[in-house]
Amino acid sequence: MLLPALNHHIHRRLPSSQLFFSLNLSTLSSHRHRLLPIAPLQFQSHQAGEENPYDLICEDPIQVCSDIWVRSFSRSHLHPSFPNLTGFLKKFDLWILAYQRSCAHQTGSFPPKNAIHVSELRSLLALSRSALSGRHPWGATTHLILRSPNDPPSIHRISKRKFYALLESSPPPFQDHVLQELLLLVLEPVFEPRFSSKSHAFRPGRSPHTVIRTIRSNFAGYLWFLKADLTDVADDFTPELIVSCLEKAVGDRKVVGLVKSALRTPVKVASGGEGKVLDKLTKRRMKRKMLRKSRKKKLLNENEPKPDPYWLRTFFSFAPEEANWVPRYGHCGILSPLLANICLNELDNWMEDRIVKYFRPSKLDSIWKESMDDGCHNPAWPEFVPSSGREKTRRMDYVRYGSYILVGIRGPREDAVELRKDLIEFCETRYGLRLENSKIEIEHITRGIQFLDHVISRRVIYPTLHYTATGGNVVSKKGLGTLLSVNASLNQCIRQFRKLELVKGDKDPEPLPCTPMLYSGQAHTNSQMNKLLETMADWYKYADNRKKIVGFCAYVIRSSIAKLYAARYRLKSRAKVYKIASRDLSRPLRESTRNASPEYSDLLRMGLVDAIDGVQFSHMALIPSCDYTPLPKNWVPEHEWVLREYIKLQDPKFFCELRKSVKHQELGVPQDDMAKIVWNFKVCGVFGRDNHDNNKQLG
């Protein structure tokens, strides 16, 4: 049960990004006297008498990763650090897994182990020796030990000017990405059990949806909210600070040395024309050139991955501000988000201590009378909190997504101001960077707080209202409680559509034609927009106004492609498009042709055309409602729950106590139930023993 839970996380496919360019050694040979000497490690694997890399493949890499996860989650706080991680770095099977994940990032396909060429295995073995020796050249394009599968061998010589231009503008080499993957496979399970449950970014099993569900379930009853942006602080973490935080849990010198060298090696910045001042004519020419380049049909290379489809690129543009921040430290690459969480984990621990100290229960309050864990947790409305009582309990809660934090305070505003002051002092003392006051906002719940493109507000429940005899004016009203409301921001959605040039205007936006899909067929266009609408509906899954926001997105997208069809088929207006293609645009739109041409139904039956799916959510009744399922108390991701249960069952004492408790409660273990079912089937056929006896009595 443990391996399938971790297998999905270890084999998760990375998103496609820019292609890495690496220079060929044959191209650099003519300029060797002008560059640094090429490392001899890359030639060691080709020498005579070198060990066969196939002899080092002896274990399952998924099982090795599972052992690391089990070992890290089973350790107690009495062992604060891992003294030896080099043993995992020496396992060649982990290097092959890191290479496979890097190839999936480069080419878009996960290569099987038996498809890796022996020359690549030898280069991978040389890279492992270079990393273990502590002399790995981070970011050195001229010291290639392992080449990218997308980098074809070059046999043509280039000029000196182009050669140095390529050196300045070349992205990080492929070998660095493989080493980053390996360090991530080893370090992530080490720090996962140490991280706070309040952080949700760059961690397996956690996402913006878990943040929204946590806010809905745990942030009811708070009056003041403190929202802080720590991006400026997190971007300026020094290598010394990151290494000091890393050494608190990792005592292996080689692993710490690899991370330290990646942080301290300077990163080459491409020297472009940033400082040049361009006139208007040059800007126009550059704009026309880029426009012609974008319209030109691009032919992909043999191993070049396909770009993301239009619906996925469009959805990525809807990413909220809090999710756009991705840290980058030196040559750490994909390891940088983990390092950022390691440093910001100290802030999480500091905030958890503040939450415990701030809690002041009140017996006159209807919630949180004695402890922080009790209180109203209605499964139908998990955020419903009574507000009656002369005195309220003082309580605080906290959640962090990346470099953005949100603190809810049930108390006076002075406590929020004091917390802001202490937060600035903590960042200055611990991280050596001062946080500006403008980056910390204090807002009341009645004004609404925007976090992850969702607005957090409240509604007061009035069960009894007294009206006058005439006029219908309210004479008296008594509020029973507050209802936490988490709505998707419609204004932010309109702004994102404006950036995509799908609407114009603010208060009454008018849809524009979807020009990027101009040369696509009707079936392909509808399928792309359906995928976009499905993803948008899933993103706003926990918003109270899910029907409203998804209905607006469906209206914009359907009207946009209807205008596109009107221009393509010369129908002049959306009304004529809807008249021919129906409201969901599922009927085919074709230009006037000869009568001898076959009908669309005949072409569809012969398989010469694609079936046209209608655009989803053409009616409000088709849009799913908001998911109000509360987040369980002490919630943990599924893989973490499986790990902890697996570790418990590995203990013989716990297993014996569990068996005794089952026997004491007169309950049967699964093995006994299965034995009874098999015995009854053999003796009584398909009927059970009880049913067989009842049938005898009835007969």
Determine the pLDDT at residue 302: 66
Residues of the chain predicted below pLDDT 70: 1-50, 76-80, 152-155, 167-169, 269-278, 294-298, 301-305, 364-391, 462-472, 474-481, 591-609, 663, 665-669, 681-699
Q: Looking at the structure, tell me whether residues 404 and 470 fall in a common domain.
A: yes
Q: Looking at the structure, tell me whether residues 218 and 362 fall in a common domain.
A: yes
Q: Looking at the structure, tell me whether residues 469 and 533 fall in a common domain.
A: no
Residue 605 falls inside a structural domain: yes
Q: Looking at the structure, tell me whether residues 144 and 239 fall in a common domain.
A: no
Q: Looking at the structure, tell me whether residues 411 and 513 fall in a common domain.
A: no
Are 558 and 582 within 8 A, CB to CB?
no
456, 486, 516 - which closes a domain: 486
Q: Looking at the structure, tell me whether residues 335 and 256 fall in a common domain.
A: yes
Full domain range(s) for residue 563: 489-591+601-650
Q: Looking at the structure, tell me whether residues 459 and 539 fall in a common domain.
A: no
Q: Looking at the structure, tell me whether residues 359 and 431 fall in a common domain.
A: yes
Are 99 and 176 within 8 A, CB to CB?
no
What is the reported pTM?
Answer: 0.81
Determine the pLDDT at residue 84: 84
Determine the pLDDT at residue 106: 83
Residue 302 falls inside a structural domain: no
Determine the pLDDT at residue 189: 92
Q: pLDDT (tens digit, 9 = 90+) per residue, 234-259?
A: 999 999 999 999 998 898 899 999 99
User: Which residue, 483, 207, 234, is CA-closest to 344?
Assistant: 234
Structurally, how many domains does the chain consist of?
Answer: 3
Residue 14 falls inside a structural domain: no
Q: Looking at the structure, tell me whether residues 500 and 480 fall in a common domain.
A: no
- Element containing residue 261 per DSSP (H, E): helix 253-264
Report the first-to-last Cα separation within the chain, whole angstroms: 47
Residue 657 falls inside a structural domain: no
Residue 155 falls inside a structural domain: no
Residue 1 falls inside a structural domain: no
650, 674, 690 - which closes a domain: 650
In whole angstroms, give the CA distance from residue 669 to residue 659.
8
Q: Looking at the structure, tell me whether residues 258 and 406 fall in a common domain.
A: yes
Are 226 and 419 within 8 A, CB to CB?
yes
Q: pLDDT (tens digit, 9 = 90+) per residue, 119-167?
A: 889 999 999 998 998 888 888 777 788 888 777 666 677 777 777 777 6
Determine the pLDDT at residue 376: 45
Determine the pLDDT at residue 697: 46
Are 332 and 202 within 8 A, CB to CB?
no
Residue 301 falls inside a structural domain: no
486, 501, 527 - which closes a domain: 486
Q: Looking at the structure, tell me whether residues 327 and 414 fall in a common domain.
A: yes
Determine the pLDDT at residue 186: 93
Residue 613 falls inside a structural domain: yes
Q: Looking at the structure, tell me whether residues 397 and 472 fall in a common domain.
A: yes
Are 385 and 397 within 8 A, CB to CB?
no
